[in-house]
Amino acid sequence: MDGPGGRDVRMLRAMTIPTEPIGSIPRPAALLEAITAFQAGKTSKAALEDAYSAALRDTIARFEQTGSPVISDGEQTKPSFATYPLSGLSLAPDGVVIPFADGHTRQLPRLTAGPFRYGVHAGSYTRAARGLTSRPIKQAVISASALSLLYPSTGIEGYPREAFVADLIDEAEADIRGALDAGAEAVQIDFTEGRLSLKLDPSGGLLRGFVDLNNKVLDRFTRDERQRIGVHVCPGGDHDSTHSADVDYAGLLPDLFQMNVGRFCLQMASEPDPKRVLRLVSRLMQPHHTVFVGVIDPIASAVETREQVRDRVLEAAGILRVAQLGTTDDCGFSPFADDVSTARETAFAKIRARVDGTQMAARQLGV
């Protein structure tokens, strides 16, 4: 009979195709209630921090129970994947609006004064999770290009865009480096605005500007460090809707693969023609790249079977080199804290299916 965690230990040793999450997990009801109560002035900061801690401990434990060889903190203590650094900044609420296919929107704030400084760095999340597990941790960070959208097109008096960009690059570097120094196995740059940029500017100029800005950050890392840094792209996922699923991957990928990272996490499970996209990826990827293919659709209500996951992995392995192949989820399960469209239990069931299905495919491929 297995001792405590025996199944998980065997799976960690046996897993030869790497598999890892994107990041967010739906927050438990108790945490959402505590956040609402705190915002309404009905509970204390200490009570809110206790709720955050309880949610983080539960998330780490449940991640471990899935057998996942790499875990995240589920972004339990972030307000969203994009806005966690913004506390303490001078902001107005009327920034860039992001429309979703179902009609709802998300709106970024607008920066009103400089200098631009992160109020929170991702390394603090890594350290908190590191204290609760011995499992490798993946830390997600927001891209410099996403945060560049905070600066208004009309400018800021006394704080030119050039000064803002210089500050932004410094802060984005510190965010990634702090997570690596805090013990993250890998750092993932969330770049969901990449596909969206082609909707805003079909010429591709905005996308190329985003890639160039992110590379200015990445150029500050060594080649070995960049092998631990990756980028994630998807058409957005919020309240079971997307913002850019109608944008063809073929317009995004050639510029995306100019990003100076070692790892690419690509939404694929929900893609209508994944073979076409994978063939394009096979032509673009370099020998030092690992491509993590999405085999789980967080928006779909049904939990994938491990056989479905296996078949998606085998399909990808028929096109990409197995030695450079990994698996992941298409997107986070709750990128914004208030997104409760997916049940917490469903998210962990899908993650277990990813882990089990990836292992089944690895056995079938003999790796």
The pLDDT of residue 48: 95
Give pLDDT, residue 320: 98
Mean pLDDT of 148-160: 97
Handedness of CA 350, 352, 353, 357 (dihedral sign): positive
Q: What is the mean pLDDT of residues 233-241?
A: 85
Q: Is the pLDDT reported for residue 11 higher than 60?
A: no
Q: Which residue has the tokens 């990445």?
A: 218
What percent of the chain lies above the pLDDT cut of 70?
96
Q: What is the pLDDT of residues 48-82, one digit of tens each?
A: 999 999 999 999 999 999 999 999 999 999 988 88
Position 3 pLDDT exceeds 80: no
User: What percent of the chain lies above the pLDDT cut of 90?
Assistant: 84
What's the average model confidence in pLDDT over 224-251? 91
Query: What pLDDT sits at residue 99?
Result: 85
Cα of first residue to Cα of last residue in the chain, in angstroms, is 26
What is the full DSSP assignment across 305-318? PHHHHHHHHHHHHT
What is the structure's pLDDT at 9?
43
Supply 219's token pair. Answer: 């150029």
Contact, 113 vs 159, CB < 8 A?
A: yes
**pLDDT tens digit sequence for 267-322:** 999 999 999 999 999 999 999 999 999 999 999 999 999 999 999 999 999 999 99
Mean pLDDT of 109-120: 96
Q: Where are the alpha helices (DSSP H) in 77-201?
A: 123-130, 144-148, 161-181, 193-200
Q: What average pLDDT does the segment 318-342 reach?
A: 93
For residue range 165-202, list pLDDT tens digits in order.
999 999 999 999 999 999 999 999 999 999 999 999 99
Judged against a pLDDT cut of 80, whether residue 211 lies above it is answered with yes
Please spell the DSSP secondary structure of 179-211, one letter per residue: HHHTT-SEEEEE-THHHHHHHH-TTSHHHHHHH
Average pLDDT, the chain: 93
In the predicted structure, residue 252 carries a pLDDT above the cut 80: yes
pLDDT band at 257 (very low <50, low <70, confident <90, very high): very high
Statement: residue 137 has pLDDT above 80:
yes
**What torsion, rounded to 10 degrees, do the Cα atoms 48, 52, 54, 56 define?**
180
Span 22-365 CATH architecture: Alpha-Beta Barrel (3.20)
CA-to-CA separations, 309 to 234, 244, 263, 329, in angstroms, rounded: 18, 24, 21, 11
Confidence of residue 13 (pLDDT cuts 50, 70, 90): very low
Closest CA to 149 of 130, 174, 177, 168: 168
Does position 5 have pLDDT exceeding 80, yes or no? no
Write down the pTM of the prediction: 0.93
Using CA of residue 182, residue 79, residue 45, residue 85, what is the dihedral sign? positive
pLDDT digits (tens, 9 = 90+) for 339-364: 888 999 999 999 999 999 999 999 99
d(CA 307, CA 99): 35
Q: Which residue has the higher pLDDT, 357 or 88?
A: 357
The predicted pLDDT at position 339 comes to 84
What's the burial of 126, exposed, middle or buried (CB within 10 Å: 0-12/13-18/19+)?
buried
Predicted confidence (pLDDT) at residue 233 exceeds the cutoff of 50: yes
Amino acid at 327: T
Compute CA 272 distance to the chain's CA centroid, rounded to the nearest angstrom.
Answer: 21
Task: Give the closest residue to 332 by CA, choosing from 155, 86, 57, 76.
Answer: 76
Q: Residue ranges of the domains in the chain? A: 22-365
Strands (E) in the chain, as ranges, are 91-92, 97-99, 105-107, 110-111, 138-142, 186-190, 229-233, 263-266, 290-296, 325-329
Give CA–CA dist 342/260, Å, rounded: 33
Question: What letter does residue 220 receive in the DSSP assignment?
Answer: T
| pLDDT at 7 > cutoff 50 | no
* pLDDT score of 105: 87
